[in-house]
């Protein structure tokens, strides 16, 4: 059993560059949320990705592989860190642009298309290697996960404001 990649090639470089760019943006953007909400939302992105990969990319039900092999590698874990800032950006720009009402529908749609575009680029760099999965299927996954992300974010903000207001 090897935990390390077979070769340090384009998919590993893709992950590293992606991490550098996304976390650079994360640290450059002015802070909008309490740290606890930032942590939970970023963790949500990574955990959702982990869950889907575990359920859809296992030996028994293998729609796609991550990285070089069908094993659970070091760079699989590092790659999950890449999903964390994306779920943060999703709620960050939701608040920054005051998306409300019908705008929420369009916002989720745009982000789902963006997610598909990013996934398409990931396939080119062999981060995802499809066996029976199609990129179009991911659209539905992104729609659902982003809706859940938004609902959870609204719940957490409501609870956070209530808790800090009663303590004040």
According to the binding rule CB under 8 A, does residue 34 interact with other proteins?
A: yes
The partner residues of 66 in beta bridges, in order of sequence, read: 128
| DSSP annotation string for the chain | ---S-SS--HHHHHHHHHHHHHHHHHHHSPP-S-HHHHHHHHHHHHHHHHHHHHHHBSSSSBSEEESSSSS--HHHHHHHHHHHHHHHHHHHHHHHTT--THHHHHHHHHHHHHHHHHHHHHHHTTSEEESS--HHHHHHHHHHHHHHHHHHHHHHHHHHHHHHHHH-
d(CA 79, CA 82): 5
**Cβ 155 to other proteins shortest distance, Å:** 7
- What would the two tokens of residue 128 be? 């995802």
Number of residues that bind other proteins (CB under 8 A): 32
Residue of 36, 97, 131, 154 that binds other proteins (CB under 8 A): 36
Span near other proteins by CB under 8 A; candidates 9-17, 33-41, 101-109, 115-123: 33-41
User: 55 or 106, CB closer to other proteins?
Assistant: 55
Span near other proteins by CB under 8 A; candidates 10-18, 44-52, 81-89, 103-111: 44-52
User: 46 or 99, CB closer to other proteins?
Assistant: 46
Q: In the range 71-100, which residues lie near other proteins by CB under 8 A?
A: 71-72, 77, 80
According to the binding rule CB under 8 A, does residue 5 interact with other proteins?
A: no
**Cβ 57 to other proteins shortest distance, Å:** 9
Q: Which residues bind other proteins (CB under 8 A)?
A: 1, 3, 34-36, 39-40, 43-44, 46-47, 50-51, 54-55, 58-60, 70-72, 77, 80, 152, 155-156, 159-160, 163-164, 167-168
């Amino acid at each position: 059993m090897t935990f390390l990649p077979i070769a340090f090639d384009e998919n590993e470089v893709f992950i590293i560059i992606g991490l550098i760019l996304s976390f650079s943006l994360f640290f450059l953007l002015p802070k909008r949320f309490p740290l606890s909400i930032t942590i939970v939302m970023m963790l949500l992105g990574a955990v959702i990705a982990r869950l889907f990969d575990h359920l859809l990319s296992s030996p028994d039900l293998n729609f796609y592989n991550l990285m070089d092999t069908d094993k659970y590698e070091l760079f699989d874990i590092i790659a999950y860190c890449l999903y964390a800032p994306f779920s943060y950006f999703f709620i960050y720009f939701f608040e920054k642009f005051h998306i409300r009402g019908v705008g929420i529908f369009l916002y989720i749609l745009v982000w789902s298309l963006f997610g598909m575009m990013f996934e398409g680029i990931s396939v080119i760099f062999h981060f995802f290697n499809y066996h029976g999965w199609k990129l179009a299927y991911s659209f539905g996954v992104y729609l659902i996960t982003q809706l859940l992300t938004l609902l959870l974010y609204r719940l957490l903000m409501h609870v956070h404001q209530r808790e800090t207001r009663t303590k004040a």
